[in-house]
Structure 1
């Protein structure tokens, strides 16, 4: 499904723990990984990582690459400039299927933010984006996802969600089960259930068993709550438009799910946003 992935690291103290948790990308089909770091510029952009020489940064990239070398074919890239733009350009130029980055800011407000680079990628990425939770170990074990926990697909049945539905089914394969939810802000439950008709039909054809539910409330709150209660290992959801496309910005729902999730989130752009 995703044969290649770009993993962006900033060499903060959470970078190595994040890489050690990425073995589950194998079930996404990942075989090749490009591990990339953006060198800070003179103006200070380029992340919050340590200010090291190019030689030292390349050595750190090589050290970090060793964590993944046993599972994936790994290459490294050292870039310079704006992290978001450099990541997006590299992914496009090398035709990489998936972008991966950490989803916590390295600041006192980290409980409220997902980080400027992650936020920029959520708004601008034109391909699937995996945000890996990089919570510090001292934040406790409550709400920590089980790596063998269920995969949760959040869908509203729209065209923007179709690609996410397809990728979720391909990821799981036959004889697996997928937890699927749709969230309604109204009491029209029948209409909400109709949103699940497409994924239900697709799952039957693919031989994937669904556990479905319709829940009332705001998606950015309900989805993380269900994921926490069920100790989901991954949330998959679609996303609408990106910056620069007819002036449209990504919807706040997807970004707020990422902020509240406390676990990996895979954002899959709708077909009209890809490419």
Structure 2
């Protein structure tokens, strides 16, 4: 299986790539080939006299490539110009990637600039499942928030087709997942409009039984309230290593719907987020 790994060649991405446990988790997911991609601005001219941008880019990519290769991955490197999320998605389609990976630093409003840019746009337009890997400031410098990427999963579902597609990721992570929490949130607006899922507990238990058959210890939770707030509250309670959630589409009109749940979870969660887009209509 193949992953496209977006890198800005920063120390934050170095931290993620140098985490052996993170890389082992990707291996358990099934990834054995990685395409490292860095996107430069169209306004940057690497061939200008005295410019060392191109050389620094090559050295940075080679450093990360060598580390991944030392861990047993087949690695391809790509330096392209353009809009980051478009070029990353374009490469993912070109190589038929199984997973997109991007690193994100911090959760505070002052630290959401990167989340609000490349990550936000990737979340809205991803053509493959997107793993947003959280990188934080630790006592001894930068560190990954959760090295065991898929060990404890929090799966949020509204029982939609997109959520069902996200649930299929457990078949990919089953070698790495030990515990799972399945969550359904009943928003107040749905309760008032009569759209409440009356058999939510039974439906969650049916999903839980599937995971238990895989050897994954599973619990179910049904909560009332605003979806994002309850997902984040549950995250604080169960301390997952990743939140698994389905996206709602990529068209210009449907992108506006993403911010209500998926985008906010990506921006505010303390753990990693695995976002699964809906199936593409060709």
The normalised TM-score by structure 1 is 0.82
Q: Within 2, Cα distance between the matches of 1:15 and 1:75?
A: 17
Aligned to 1:155: 157
* Residue of structure 2 equivalent to 1:239: 247
Which shows bigger deviation, 198-207 or 89-98? 198-207
Could you say which residue in structure 2 is the equivalent of 1:47? none
What TM-score, normalized by structure 2, do the two folds share?
A: 0.80
Q: Report the equivalent of 2:48.
A: none
Deviates most, 179-188 or 7-16: 179-188
Give the Cα–Cα distance (whole angstroms) in 1 for the partners of residues 173 and 281 of structure 2: 19
Q: Which blocks of at least 5 consecutive residues in structure 2 are unaligned?
A: 46-50
Superposed CA RMSD: 3.2
Instruction: Please list every run of 5 or more consecutive structure 1 residues that lacks an aligned counterpart in the other structure.
Output: 45-50
Q: CA deviation at 1:92?
A: 0.8
Partner residue, 2:185? 183
| Superposed displacement of residue 137, structure 1 | 2.5
SS at match of 1:134: strand
The answer for the alignment partner of 2:110 in structure 1 is 109
Q: Which residue of 2 aligns with 1:58?
A: 58
Q: Structure 1 residue 164 and structure 2 residue 183: aligned?
A: no
**Deviation of the 1:95 alpha carbon:** 1.1
Distance 1:107 1:204 in 2: 36
Alignment match of 2:235 (pick from 227, 230, 252): 227
The answer as to whether partners of 1:105 and 1:113 remain within 8 angstroms in 2 is no
Q: CA deviation at 1:115?
A: 3.6
Distance in 2 of aligned mates of 1:207 and 1:8: 32
Q: 1:107 to 1:201 in 2, by over 3 A?
A: closer
Runs of 4+ in 1 over 3 A off after TM superposition: 104-108, 138-141, 173-177, 186-192, 200-209
Alpha-carbon offset, residue 120 of structure 1? 0.6
Distance 1:103 1:79 in 2: 21
CA contact (8 A) 2:185 2:223 kept: yes
Q: How far has the Cα of 1:145 moved from its partner?
A: 4.1
Matches within 5 A, 1:4-153: 4-21=2-19, 22-23=22-23, 24-42=25-43, 52-69=52-69, 70-104=71-105, 109-111=110-112, 114-137=115-138, 144-145=145-146, 147=148, 149-153=151-155
**SS in structure 2 at match of 1:64:** helix
For residue 262 of structure 2, what is the aligned residue in structure 1?
254
Contact 2:106 2:136 in 1 (8 A): no
Question: Could you say what secondary structure the match of 1:242 adopts?
Answer: coil
Question: Which structure 2 residues correspond to residues 203-214 of structure 1 after superposition, within 5 A?
Answer: 203=211, 206=214, 208-214=216-222
The 2-side partners of 1:65 and 1:174 are apart by 24
CA distance in 2, matches of 1:216, 1:76: 46
Residue 263 to residue 115, structure 1, CA distance change in 2 (3 Å): same
Tell me the number of residue pairs that the alignment of Structure 1 and Structure 2 aligns: 262
